[in-house]
Amino acid sequence: QQGLKYHGIVEDCCCDYETVDRINEDELHPLLHKIVKYPFFRYFKVKLWCDCPFWPDDGMCRLRDCSVCECPENEFPEIFKKSSSHSHSSDDIVCQEGKPEATVDHEMTYVNLQLNPERYTGYTGPSARRIWDAIYTENCPRYPSGQCHEKRILYKLISGLHSSISIHIATDYLVDEKSNTWGQNLSLLYDRVLKYPERVRNLYFTFLFVLRSVTKAADYLEQADYDTGNPLEDTNTKLLMKKLLRDGKLQAACPKPFDEANLWKGQSGPELMQQIQRQFRNISALMDCVGCEKCRLWGKLQVLGLGTALKILFSVNGQEHSGQTLHMQRNEVIALINLLHRLSESIKFVHEMGPSVERIFGKQISSS
């Protein structure tokens, strides 16, 4: 149990901490953990080598583990390489000033996410710090709690994602370089996340926000095309997605994880919405400045996932404000579900390890 520290309703959301932990542990995490292993969700097509649009590249990674291991082309589903007129167009993460996919296809990297887990890479120092600083100071300042809900959302989403990245670094850490031994770094978990309850709260907020976007897009996602050319695995993917989207226990315990109904409704709504979209575009562009391949891969994927969640929640009853029906590209669906899985894993870890880590490291701090 997390104890009394995190209880009651998650701020600005509609479910309490205890319910989130229970549903995540019993239902969501086991399902998501299976889903992301299927071919549709494990292959991601991304342009990893774009110039940083803001400053000369300054990244450097100490560890070999920082580089992405690319799929041999024949491993990547043939169908993903072709343009299609399906519900998911053949989309990709291109550079910010992106040319259409057809013209940049050859520059794409095909990645098997299962072989490139998000973990400690040794990426640290001024380069990493500069990115987080640019994100927080220029693009999502921390507004005081009196400020309107819309203004605080982006900060909370990014902070929640940042917590999740730090948790994955802590749970999959190179504890001994000489013998190449990987394990947990619980003091890092405490120092970067648990010591700051707001960061834990923002993690739960981000999880519920993304979960709501997935349940809101349930009709769309249920009908989506999960074809990778492997009928058996694709049928299983579809079945598991249906289970996730129509999970009775989730619907009973937490029918609306986040309520977007009153967002962007007031007089300044359209302006606030444009502001958040502008800031979000800048944050996406900053991912090209991340100086470590694997961090850039997961940074791009998760920022795309967050952008997709925002896109879904910006839409009204499945209709985007432009009046067009909600449409998601294949990479957006992949990013959204992988992001939800990353967050779900972080929540599980904090729930399971948080109290004992706090007892050990919190005591050390207070008695030192």
Taking the alpha carbons of 29, 35, 36, 41 in that order, is the dihedral positive or negative?
A: negative
CB of 162 to ligand FAD, least distance (A): 4
Residue 194 near residue 350 (C-beta atoms within 8 A): yes
For ligand FAD, the closer of residues 79 and 165 by Cβ is 165
For ligand FAD, the closer of residues 297 and 340 by Cβ is 297
CB of 135 to ligand FAD, least distance (A): 7
CB of 159 to ligand FAD, least distance (A): 3
For ligand FAD, the closer of residues 20 and 303 by Cβ is 303
Best CA proximity match to 20, nearest among 359, 354, 343: 343
SS3 184: coil
CB of 110 to ligand FAD, least distance (A): 19
For ligand FAD, the closer of residues 40 and 280 by Cβ is 280
* CA 240 from centroid of its chain's CA atoms: 20
For ligand FAD, the closer of residues 169 and 337 by Cβ is 169
For ligand FAD, the closer of residues 105 and 191 by Cβ is 191
For ligand FAD, the closer of residues 163 and 215 by Cβ is 163
Both tokens assigned to 73: 């082309």
Beta-ladder partners of 325:
319
CA angle 293, 296, 298 (to 5 degrees): 110
CB of 101 to ligand FAD, least distance (A): 23
Residue 99 to residue 303: CA distance in whole angstroms: 19
Q: What is the CA radius of gyration of the chain?
A: 20
CB of 71 to ligand FAD, least distance (A): 19
H helices, E strands: number in the chain: 16, 4
A 10 A CB-CB count for 316 gives 13
Taking the alpha carbons of 200, 205, 207, 208 in that order, is the dihedral positive or negative?
A: positive
Chain residues binding ligand FAD by CB under 6 A are 118, 120-121, 123-124, 128-129, 131-132, 159, 162-163, 165-166, 169, 192, 199, 290, 294-295, 298-299
CB of 94 to ligand FAD, least distance (A): 18
Residue 94 to residue 218: CA distance in whole angstroms: 27
CB of 355 to ligand FAD, least distance (A): 19
Amino acid letter, 157: L
Both tokens assigned to 156: 């909370």
Residue 195 to residue 179: CA distance in whole angstroms: 30
CB of 187 to ligand FAD, least distance (A): 12
For ligand FAD, the closer of residues 91 and 118 by Cβ is 118
CB of 234 to ligand FAD, least distance (A): 29
For ligand FAD, the closer of residues 290 and 336 by Cβ is 290
Amino acid letter, 273: M
A 10 A CB-CB count for 267 gives 7
Residue 339 to residue 303: CA distance in whole angstroms: 9
Strands (E), 167-254: 173-176, 181-183
* CA 315 from centroid of its chain's CA atoms: 19
For ligand FAD, the closer of residues 189 and 217 by Cβ is 189
